[in-house]
Amino acid sequence: MELNNIEKLIEKYLEAETSISEEKELRNYFSSTNVAPHLEQYKYMFQYFTIAKNETSSKSVPLKPRKINFKWLTVAASLILAIGFYTFNEVKNNNQEEEALQAYFQTKEALQLLSSNFNTGTEKMLYLNKFDNTKNQIFKTNH
């Protein structure tokens, strides 16, 4: 029964579904001398974990303070500013072009209105011109 239970625990362990108490039970089983022959391969793995758990390092690791590379930071900031100015000017130029185009069309419309009114006045002047010619002919013949 215990061997069957150990095999189930190994399957659970390989699927990462065991609890801490179940893993402790597996470590105790594989540290004993009576391990089933078909489970010998797992004995070395659990022995390694037990040994590795107790390992410590006496070597000190020097921690270097991280330096900020201001050279690259200034280059990146300059690049961002240049892109910002370029896009701002492009948007500003586009707005100015749109405003100029709108002013052009409004001026064109106003001049067309003025031209049509001026042409109406010119037609009336033709009648006055005929009247003036006729008057001049009458007065010239009478004088």
Reported as a single tens digit per residue, the pLDDT across 10-52 is 888 888 888 989 888 888 888 888 888 888 888 888 888 878 8
Handedness of CA 47, 50, 54, 55 (dihedral sign): positive
Asked whether residue 110 is domain-assigned, the answer is yes
d(CA 103, CA 98): 9
Both 143 and 74 in a single domain? Answer: yes
Residue 134: domain span:
69-143
Instruction: Please indicate, yes or no, whether residues 73 and 138 belong to a single structural domain of this protein.
Output: yes
Domain tally, the chain: 2
| Backbone Cα Rg of the chain | 51
Q: Which amino acid is at 20?
A: I
Q: What is the pTM of this model?
A: 0.39
